[in-house]
Structure 1
């Protein structure tokens, strides 16, 4: 099985499929790289696709501390170096959208383009007011039930039952300390970038082209003011849920491929 030692006693599980310009696929909070099972075969027809389990998730190492987007981005930089990959287009969903954005800011030489899939940033203060109670639940007696409750906002009536079931089962397999550390680091820690205005200040530092695909028109409109490269694009899929790329995998792949061809 492909594992990479990335320092700090962290081993990342990853897979590689296909050949061509490299794509790095980064999953969201409480999931793993199986999240990309709907997309890998299609993307691998034209790309070298690297799908990775972030620290604390899937088959990768589970440290007692440091399960944060910033540490995860550092792990990815080390993974790319270990594989001799000088530059990628990084694709991140939800928390993964934070992770790849941090990678693009802190290691701009590694990221030639970014695809953010309903990313976990740009939360308003109205939403952020709910986070302390969510964190209390994750620290409580029933952390997986609390995580499942948080996950309810990720789907809607149109989300297939198999997607709901997959994510529920994955959440219940997560170490509770990873769930709470990652959630806090995304939204309430001093250096968190998930809530405005911290999101604005940090994301404006991205210099590469960005394709952002949103289910939320308000946040889509908000992010459009932060994109620096003229090749960047914002798309909003009305009626989709947070799991939009899993609900509409063929459409997602077509959109990503179309945008990548325009960068050539």
Structure 2
């Protein structure tokens, strides 16, 4: 059975924990979304590791990585990706990211075309400029019971089914219950730049082959998707019927197939 080993990369004093699935072939780096964790990609990693070197990253502030980094700028997230690729000797690599992880992947591809050979965005795009999102996200985190008394309570609260299971897998068990492995304030600060502006110029600078996967019921609306294709008509866009924002948790089989086919080109 294919499994992973934990690898640690330190950049500017910030510890980054990675799930290194090994595998032969071109490297693929997987980036989770806001408040997520590297384990969300386990199903996709198993699928991809048959033909790729696969690494899933707990991004700064998340999971097993540094819980309270001082710098949560978009530039810091991007620099972390390149540091992981350098320390693990990944060479030229493909980037796959969901939600905020997809945004990080897009910025990395735009800034480092010599390193990123392919880009796959899952429920992510260059749109932004919505200040109200900070209060909405902060309010959602405030609504979480802390701690959750039992794991099944967390699964139910976080959406039930595979989505709830995926989110609950990122919690840590303590004597008094199940706790998030992130600081809510750090998460809100990580979104501040996206709340102030959009990133269409960076989207236009992406030069590598690009796949955009959108859930039929996700948060990337039709107008944003249409503008993405208008500006970069060579982008391959796929909508997953019945899926929401967490396509990678809801339909890992479909996403795994899409990624395998795209990255094989």
CA RMSD in angstroms comes to 2.5
After TM superposition, list the pairs within 5 Å mapping 1:12-161 onto structure 2: 12-17=16-21, 18-119=23-124, 121-123=126-128, 128=130, 130-134=132-136, 137=139, 142=142, 144=144, 161=161
Shift of residue 103, structure 1, vs aligned partner: 0.7
Name the residue aligned to 2:262.
Answer: 259
Q: Relative to structure 1, is the Cα distance of residues 133 and 13 closer, same or farther in structure 2, using a 3 angstrom cutoff?
A: closer
1:100-155 superposed Cα distances (whole Å, 9 cap, x missing partner): 111111222110110000115325x7xx263253266379xx3747xxxxxxxxxx
Q: Report the TM-score when normalising by structure 2.
A: 0.79
User: Which ranges in structure 2 are unaligned for 5 or more consecutive residues?
Assistant: 1-5, 146-158, 172-179
Shift of residue 169, structure 1, vs aligned partner: 6.8
Quick check: which one's helix share is greater?
1
Correspondence for 1:184 among 171, 178, 192: 192
**Aligned equivalents of 2:138, 2:9: Cα separation in 1:** 34
63-72 or 88-97: which moved more? Answer: 63-72
Is the partner of 1:24 in helix, strand or coil?
strand
Report if aligned partners of 2:119, 2:210 keep a CA contact under 8 Å in 1: yes
**Aligned equivalents of 1:30, 1:160: Cα separation in 2:** 17
Aligned length: 234
Report if aligned partners of 1:144, 1:176 keep a CA contact under 8 Å in 2: no
Report if aligned partners of 2:60, 2:69 keep a CA contact under 8 Å in 1: no
Correspondence for 1:221 among 210, 226, 236: 226
Name the residue aligned to 1:212.
Answer: 212
User: Which ranges in structure 1 are unaligned for 5 or more consecutive residues?
Assistant: 146-158, 193-197
Quick check: which one's strand share is greater?
2
Shift of residue 212, structure 1, vs aligned partner: 0.5
Shift of residue 170, structure 1, vs aligned partner: 3.9
**Aligned equivalents of 2:169, 2:257: Cα separation in 1:** 29
Name the residue aligned to 1:167.
Answer: 167
**Aligned equivalents of 1:100, 1:243: Cα separation in 2:** 17
**Aligned equivalents of 1:132, 1:181: Cα separation in 2:** 8
Name the residue aligned to 1:195.
Answer: none
Q: Report the TM-score when normalising by structure 1.
A: 0.79
Report if aligned partners of 2:7, 2:19 keep a CA contact under 8 Å in 1: yes
Report if aligned partners of 2:120, 2:211 keep a CA contact under 8 Å in 1: yes
**Aligned equivalents of 1:73, 1:242: Cα separation in 2:** 22
